[in-house]
Amino acid sequence: MTNKNTTPPRREIMGGLAKGLEVIRAFTRERPLLTLSEIAAVAGVPPATARRCLHTLEELGYMTRKGRSFLLRPKVLELGAAYLESMNIESLTRTHLEDLARETGDSASLCVLDGLEIVYLARASIRTLVRLEAHVGSRFPAYPTSMGRVLLAGLEPAGLARYFEQATIVALTDRTITDRKALVRLIEECRRLGYSAVEDELAYGVVAVAVPVLDQYGKVVASLNSSGHSKRMAKTKLVKERLPMLQEASRKISQELARVPGLALSAGL
């Protein structure tokens, strides 16, 4: 018999809550409508468990039905809004992002790394891109984006290795760099130079340059970028004209975000 006094106690967890969150995460832009069996498969839970989670979420107003399929209701946004409000990200960064957008005539964004993707926490835009438009909460793969490479450059070697073990690297355009060795070199270059720039890799027409945002310990906790349309401005010109503005804005945001507890937990794997 195991001696309970020598067995390390497990952290108290709520399995039901964890399963409910997995059910919510099963829905994406590509999967807005899912049947019970599809939800169970994607969330990795038994159908009976998925059914109980769905009924609970439906009762609480987070879920609704359309025929045999389920879809999320707007109330789910409250979950993400709670994070943004607790971090006060929008308030802290609004002026800096708006100033960048006004100076450049394009857009400025702040992102963090969440697993294998970047997620937008704040954004200001003067001009709408033709082929791609992001908003708060938008997610994109990290490897073909300027902000993603900045965030990957901020990882410890073990974290970066785990990223490449787990990430699916595919070409999104014929300009997307998919060779892992080449990506590692670009990430190392970003770490050395302090910025990353991409052109037509995430989507045709999108050119962007990004810099890191640091906490009080010098750790990369977010990335800040300025983006535009590649038909109007080439990558080299974008870097030359906007990098100094980004670096100054990043310095100011870093000073302000250093007072925000918990943001560093949003970065890394």
pLDDT of residue 1: 40
**Rounded mean pLDDT, 195-219:** 91
pLDDT of residue 89: 59
pLDDT of residue 128: 56
Rg (CA), the chain: 21
pLDDT of residue 267: 39
CA neighbor of 108 nearest in space, from 246, 240, 251: 246
pLDDT of residue 256: 78
The 3 state secondary structure assigned to 14-27 is: CHHHHHHHHHHHCC
Domain count, the chain: 2
On whether residue 43 sits in a domain, the answer given is: yes
Name the strand (E) or helix (H) holding 80. helix 77-87
Q: Give phi and psi for 131, each to the nearest 5.
A: -100, -15
Render pLDDT for 170-184 as a digit per residue (tens, 0 to 9): 999 999 999 999 999
On whether residue 7 sits in a domain, the answer given is: no
Residues 126 and 147 in one domain: yes
Is the pLDDT assigned to residue 262 strictly greater than 60?
A: no
* Cα 32–chain centre separation: 19
Residues 156 and 40 in one domain: no
Is the pLDDT assigned to residue 130 strictly greater than 50?
A: no
pLDDT of residue 3: 44
**Rounded mean pLDDT, 197-202:** 95
Residues 62 and 159 in one domain: no
Residues 44 and 101 in one domain: no
Range of the domain at 196: 79-266
- Distance separating alpha carbons of residues 206 and 199, to the nearest angstrom: 6
**Rounded mean pLDDT, 208-232:** 89
pLDDT of residue 234: 86
Diameter of the chain by CA atoms?
72
> How high is the mean pLDDT of the chain?
84
- Distance separating alpha carbons of residues 158 and 24, to the nearest angstrom: 29
Sheet of 117-125: strands edge to edge?
A: 139-141, 117-125, 107-114, 220-229, 206-214, 196-199
On whether residue 3 sits in a domain, the answer given is: no
Render pLDDT for 104-117 as a digit per residue (tens, 0 to 9): 888 899 998 888 99
96 or 151, which is more confident? 151
- Distance separating alpha carbons of residues 190 and 184, to the nearest angstrom: 10
Residues 152 and 52 in one domain: no
pLDDT of residue 91: 60
75 or 8, which is more confident? 75
**Rounded mean pLDDT, 26-40:** 91
Residues 104 and 58 in one domain: no
On whether residue 8 sits in a domain, the answer given is: no
pLDDT of residue 4: 42
- Place 219 in a pLDDT band, splitting at 50, 70 and 90: confident
Q: Quote the strand ranges of the chain, DSSP E.
A: 34-35, 63-66, 69-72, 107-114, 117-125, 139-141, 196-199, 206-214, 220-229
Residues 24 and 64 in one domain: yes
On whether residue 257 sits in a domain, the answer given is: yes
Is the pLDDT assigned to residue 88 strictly greater than 70?
A: no
Cβ distance 123 to 110 under 8 Å? Answer: yes
Q: What CATH number is given to the structural domain containing 251?
A: 3.30.450.40
pLDDT of residue 85: 55
206 beta partners: 229
